[in-house]
Amino acid sequence: MTIGEAATITGLPQKTIRYYEEIDLVRPDRGANGYRNFSRSDTHKLAFVARARSLGFSVGECRALLSLYEDDNRASADVRQLAGEHLMQIDVKIAELQAMRRTLADLVERCRGDHRPDCPILDELAAHKAAFHKEPVS
C-alpha cells in the first residue's frame, strides 16, 4: 500500500512515516516507480510505534520495544524493566509539573490582574527586589 494509505491506517503523518523509515524503524520496499510499498507488517509496526509514542516512550525506547516484540525468545522481564523505568520518569515529570503548578496557581491567584503594575508574579520572578535598582554602575 502507498504511504498515503499507511498514513490513513496508522494515523501518522506521511512525514513522520518517512522519518521513521529514515531512522530505520520500518523498511518498506519500493515499487518500480520509486514509491514506497507498505506491507501489513510495516503498517503494524508503525501502529505499534504510534501507540508506544502515545504512551510517552522515546523513539529509542520504541525501537527497543519493537525489537523485543519481534524477538520470540524475549523475556517479559526485559519489557517490564523498560516500561518500569519509563513509568518512573513519568512520575518524576508529573512531580515537577505539579510543583510548578502549585507555585504558579498560588501566584496567579494572588495577582489582582487589573490595570495597575504591581504583581506578585513578577515579584516572585524578580525575587531579590532590593538588590535591583536600574543599572547600577556595573
The only residue of 9, 16, 68, 111 in contact with DNA, by rule CB under 7 A: 16
Establish if 60 lies at the interface with a second copy (CB under 8 A): no
Asked if residues 49 and 62 have their Cβ atoms less than 8 Å apart, the reply is yes
Cell of 105: 496557581
Give the range of 10-18, 19-27, 121-129 binding a second copy by CB under 8 A. Answer: 121-129
Establish if 81 lies at the interface with a second copy (CB under 8 A): yes
Which residues inside 30-69 make contact with DNA, applying CB under 7 A? 31-36, 53, 58-60
Q: How far is the CB of 86 from DNA (least distance, A)?
A: 11
Q: Mind giving me the DSSP string for 44-106?
A: HHHHHHHHHHHTT--HHHHHHHHHHHT-TT--HHHHHHHHHHHHHHHHHHHHHHHHHHHHHHH
Establish if 67 lies at the interface with a second copy (CB under 8 A): no
CA separation for the pair 5, 128 (Å, rounded): 58
Binding-residue pattern over the window 18 to 57 for a second copy, x denoting contact by CB under 8 A: -------------------xxxxx--x--xx--xx-xxx-
